[in-house]
Amino acid sequence: MESPSIKIAIIGAGTVGAALVAMLNDHTRDAALHEAVGGTLKIAGIAVRDIKRPRSGVAPELLTTDVEALVTRDDVDVVVELAGGVDDAYRYVRRALESGKSVVTANKALIAAKGTELEAIARTQNVDLIFEAAVGGGIPILRALRTSLVGEKIHRVMGIVNGTTNFILSAMTSDGASYDDVLAEAQRLGYAEADPTADVEGFDAAAKVTILAALSFGTPLVGAVIPREGISRITADDVAFASRHGYVIKLIGVAERVGEHGISMRVHPAMLPTSHPLASINGAFNAVFVEGAKAGPLMLMGRGAGGDPTASAVLGDILEAARNRVVSRRSATPDVEENLTDFPQSELQSTFYLTLDVADRPGVLAAVTTVFGDHGVSIRLMEQSGFGDEARLTFVTHFALESDMAATIEDLQTLDVVDAIGSTIRIVGEDS
């Protein structure tokens, strides 16, 4: 029996690329891989920036700096893009797809920015574009959405999909430390970038929400500008309040159906009840919580980043693409649903936590609560701490419209007695 050989071209030999090459060179799983693929996997070449750098476990003759030549080589079946960034990666992936290669990538920024266009090329060419590792590192959430749950009407997908912010918030919760101190520590340990903006301001999470929504609801894979708040204004006091009242603060990404055709996507910090399954996902772990009409709530948890978990997910995708090559097919991908619309965040309802620094003098509370009342925002809980110039009011509202809350905050800013408005954090996952 002849056994086809599927040739893999890899772009990039950084942390993930090196881990992937090590997995492909570990022959203890050969029998299982062969059974899964119906053929053997072979590395055709590895595109790198610096061909002279010595790399352990890599035959030097596999290395090249000519990416275009590698991804269009006649004998290559599957191109694995691990270069990162958007512009170059887009060019390489496009060339590979147009040359009839299947593509596996872990590049969430690329998929969230150019996914719809690249997916269309993949369909035309009858090849695969698979990107499991783009969301949740080693967690097989995208494959679950594409296969097990494809018959399921999904109501909501909500996840902790950024390891850096989860590490920071977990450490603030366990140590009571300030945001700035924990961020500095995270940078020292390599868990946060020197410029942490993409993580802490929620851009990374927003790209992942775009991808989760596309696979859950059929929204387009384009760089949707989705409402996004980061964690940089969360204080140790906010964390302490949450703990005292049975919550933990997490940065969550949400994509959900609202009504028949509305889709709401957003990224913001949230207070989750400690009993919520996402509340116990700590440190660098990621988790995605899926609410389906029939399957009920499901949660998948695992390492959200790192060379080995990402390479493990990439290998799973390579196996899928390789097996498809052997039988000349491609995996099903969801059609873009034409009749979906962005549901405006202003029309959503939520419960809000809000802090105000105020002057501690008679009449302040009346002035402040009048503003809430004027906008129909009713108050579930109020705490006052400090006194004199340091007084702080903490409010938790009942369910209120986002637009009413926004108008309340705008008016509060104009009050003489309000010195500063602190964090506004939505409370999520109570009795729903």
Q: Count Cβ atoms within 10 A of the Cβ of residue 40 and give its class: 0-12 exposed, 13-18 middle, 19 or more buried.
A: middle
Query: Per rule CB under 8 A, is residue 311 in the interface with a second copy?
Result: yes
When asked if residue 109 is in the footprint of a second copy (CB under 8 A), the reply is no
Alpha-helical segments (H) within 8-107: 15-25, 30-37, 67-71, 87-98
Which residue in 153, 208, 250, 294 is the catalytic one? 208
Please tell me the distance from the alpha carbon of residue 349 to that of residue 146, in angstroms, as a whole number: 30
Site string for a second copy, 111-140 (x = CB under 8 A): ---------------------x-----xxx
* Residue 277 within binding range of a second copy, rule CB under 8 A: yes
Residue 220 interacts with a second copy (CB under 8 A): yes or no = no
Output 49 or 329, the one with its CB closest to a second copy: 329
Name which of 76, 79, 70 is nearest 121 in CA terms: 79
Q: Which of 69, 139, 137 is nearest to 300 (CA)?
A: 139
Angstrom distance (rounded) from CA 391 to CA 409? 18
Q: Does position 301 bind a second copy by CB under 8 A?
A: yes
**Does 208 participate in catalysis according to the annotation?**
yes
| Contact yes or no for 217/397 (Cβ under 8 A) | no
User: Residue 223 Cβ, how far from a second copy at the closest point, in Å?
Assistant: 24
Minimum distance between the CB of residue 325 and a second copy, rounded to whole angstroms? 13
Pair type for strands 78-81 and 102-105? parallel
- Per the listing, tokens 């950084």 go with 14
302 binds a second copy (CB under 8 A): yes
Q: How many residues bind a second copy (CB under 8 A)?
A: 58
Stretch that binds a second copy, among 2-10, 312-320, 365-373, 377-385 (CB under 8 A): 312-320
- Give the bridge partners for 251, in sequence order: 269
Identify the residue among 69, 150, 382, 420 touching a second copy (CB under 8 A).
Answer: 150
Residues 6+ away with beta carbon under 8 Å from 48: 12, 13, 55, 63, 64, 65
Query: Encoding tokens for residue 353?
Result: 């936590």
148 is a contact residue toward a second copy (CB under 8 A): yes
Nearer to a second copy, 138 or 230 (CB): 138
* Cβ-based nearer residue to a second copy, 9 or 19: 19
The CB density around residue 385, as the number of other CB atoms within 10 Å, is: 12
Stretch that binds a second copy, among 145-153, 189-197, 385-393, 403-411 (CB under 8 A): 145-153
Beta pairing class for 392-397 and 379-385: antiparallel
Closer residue to a second copy (CB): 183 or 315: 315
CA-to-CA distance for 55 and 49, rounded, in angstroms?
A: 13
Of the pair 124, 280, the CB lying nearest a second copy is at 280
Q: Provide, rounded to whole angstroms, the least separation between the CB of residue 248 and a second copy.
A: 12
Which residue from 230, 229, 212 is spatially nearest to 221, judged by alpha carbons? 212
CA of residue 158 relative to chain centroid, distance: 10
Q: Which of 177, 300, 359, 401 binds a second copy (CB under 8 A)?
A: 300
| Complex with a second copy: residue 322 or 356, whichever CB lies closer | 322
Regarding 334 and contact with a second copy (CB under 8 A), the answer is: yes
Instruction: Please state the length of the chain.
Output: 432
The phi and psi torsions of 31 (rounded to 5 degrees) equal -65, -45
127 vs 354, beta carbon nearer a second copy: 127
Residues 7-46 that bind a second copy (CB under 8 A): 19, 23, 26, 28-29, 31-33, 35-38
Any contact of residue 223 with a second copy (CB under 8 A)? Answer: no
Alpha carbon distance 282, 402 (integer Å): 29
Backbone angles phi, psi at 379, to 5 degrees: -105, 130
Q: List the structure tokens of 273.
A: 């009840």
- 259 touches a second copy by CB under 8 A: no
Q: Which is nearer to a second copy, 201 or 317 (CB)?
A: 317
Q: Shortest distance, CB of residue 393 to a second copy, whole angstroms?
A: 33
Please tell me whether residue 327 binds a second copy under the rule CB under 8 A. yes
Rounded-to-integer distance, Cα 159 and Cα 169, Å: 15
Question: Residues 108, 114, 118, 120: is their CA dihedral positive or negative?
Answer: positive
Which residues are known catalytic residues? 208
**Residues at the interface with a second copy (CB under 8 A):** 19, 23, 26, 28-29, 31-33, 35-38, 132, 138-140, 143-144, 147-153, 218, 275, 277, 280, 292, 294-303, 306, 308-309, 311-313, 315-316, 318-320, 323, 327, 329, 332-335
